[in-house]
Amino acid sequence: MPPQRPGNALPFLLLTTIRTLIEELHVRLADLGHPDLRPAHGIAMQMISRGGSISDLGRRLGVSKQAASKTVASLERLGYAQRCRNATDQRQIEVALTARGMEALRLSGQLLNELRDEWATTVGEREMGSMEDTLAQLGRPDGFERIVGWLGG
């Protein structure tokens, strides 16, 4: 049995693992024609895909309306998002993904599936499933919503 690591090693192991995963995702996205995307863009694009205004996006990300607006402006310059009028209330401006933004999200999902399978090949499918089950058990049911707000706020 390997020696027990100190408790302060756990956050670093988790952070190093997620960083490795996300960095490789972005290398592969760049190879597929999306070299300007950054991890924060991916989180924002996930939230934009749910629909709504810049204020809605800010609430989902746990940031101010101004910060959400800056993120949207950045994604607009890169061709991943656009502002458009609400179909029922022309005074309200919504944010939507462009075809390029939807493609990037779709590719990200495919690439994350590939990376997960590669990791399972490295450590074994049983160990990978066990790790995923353990992380799901240790996390919270509202984990995604909570982590996005925590990262942004």
Summarize pLDDT for 33-76 with one digit per residue, the tens.
999 999 889 989 999 999 999 999 999 888 899 999 999 999 99
**pLDDT the model gives residue 153:** 36
Give the mean model confidence (pLDDT) for residues 109-136: 95
- The percentage of residues in the chain with a pLDDT greater than 90, rounded to a whole number, is 68
DSSP string, the chain: -PPPPPTTHHHHHHHHHHHHHHHHHHHHHHHTT-TT--HHHHHHHHHHTT--BHHHHHHHHTS-HHHHHHHHHHHHHHTSEEEEE-SS-TT-EEEEE-HHHHHHHHHHHHHHHHHHHHHHHHH-HHHHHHHHHHHHHHS-TTHHHHHHHHHH-
